[in-house]
Homo-oligomer: A and B are copies of this chain.
Amino acid sequence: VRYPAEHKEETRARIVRTASREFRRSGGAGIGIAGLMKELSLTHGGFYRHFKSKDQLFAEAVDEAFEDVSAKLMRAAAHSRGREIEAVVDAYLNDSHCAHPAEGCPIASLAADVARQPRKVRLAMEGALERYAERFAPFCAGRTEGERRRNAILLFAGMAGTLTLARATADESLRASILESAREFYKRSFARSG
């Protein structure tokens, strides 16, 4: 079968997009190449025309996840009429994000996984994190650019830990209560206006 010129690129992008969702849902070991390709109505053999290993796909999928979530949060910030941190915190620490890891923040779902991966994967994570910090620093409290960037990282690290812990909980109301008090805390701690 011969495919149109842009076909390969599109397939590759579809694999990354699906992998990004599935890894966030099930962890790096929770979904295999065969399952991933099947979800796209392809067979596992073709995978290696696009990626040299599962590890490489994992790194790209983490990157895609960062871009995905970052775009959503930036959109929330843009519609906030100057209360960007409040909007970002509300968009991050809510029941829907908690209930849908597959479409959510990769720090919350994959950071512990990434920590166990080879340096190459951790570098991809680090790059994505730096981009996060750069984008969100302007909305954060802090007297210098460096301080605002450190605060942006602290904000996301803290929110991610809170979201993950809420997800690890069994009781629905405990979960909601954790998210609620965290929203209040992170807004108070990181919003520019105080």
Contacts and interface: CB of A to CB of B under 8 A. Distances in A.
Q: Specify how many copies of this chain sit in the oligomer.
A: 2
Nearest to A174: B126
A84 to B, nearest CB: 19
A33 interface: no
A115 B168 contact: yes
Contacts of A107: 161, 164-165, 168
Contacts of A177: 150
B111 A170 contact: no
Interface SS of A by simple majority: helix
A115 B129 contact: no
B27 A112 contact: yes
Contacts of A30: 29, 116
Interface stretch (A6-14, A70-78, A181-189): A181-189
A122 B29 contact: no
Interface in A100-153: 101, 107-116, 119, 122-123, 125-126, 129, 150, 153
Contacts of A169: 122, 125-126, 129
A133 to B, nearest CB: 10
Contact of A168 (B114, B150, B158, B181): B114
Contact of A160 (B115, B126, B153, B161): B161
Given A150-B181, A154-B181, A116 B170 contact: no
Interface string A71-105: 00000000000000000000000000000010000
Contacts of A108: 112, 161
A-B residue pairs, 7 tightest by C-beta: A161-B161, A115-B167, A158-B158, A122-B170, A157-B162, A114-B168, A29-B29
Given A109-B112, A153-B181, A160-B161, 7 more contacts: A29-B29, A107-B168, A112-B164, A125-B170, A126-B168, A129-B169, A154-B181
